[in-house]
Amino acid sequence: MKNFFKIMILFMGIVLGIYLGELALKVPWLKFLAFGKDIGISQPIVLDLGFINLTFGFMCKLNLAGILGFVIALFVIKKAVK
């Protein structure tokens, strides 16, 4: 259960960082935080077997603010464990 909370804190740090990076686009001197890349399959792969339709896809948006959020979440976890 302890590991689950660590993973959730890391995930929340990344999501919050990416969100703040998107908001930083509106501030001219913070635009560098939104620098990043979309990684994944842009067009989903569809497998139609007649009776079942399977769609495979994965996209990951990564920017500088998301990485900073991840690093801050790591420090929060280290402080919380002590």
pTM score of the predicted model: 0.75
Domain count, the chain: 1
Helix (H) or strand (E) holding 3: helix 2-24
H-helix segments, 25-58: none
Q: Each residue of 6-33: pLDDT tens digit?
A: 899 999 999 999 999 989 889 999 889 8
Burial of 47 (0-12, 13-18, 19+ CB in 10 A): exposed
| Residues in a beta bridge with 45 | 56
Instruction: Report the pLDDT value the prediction gives residue 71, as an integer from 0 to 100.
Output: 95
Distance of CA 32 to the CA centre of its chain: 17
Domain coverage including residue 26? 2-81
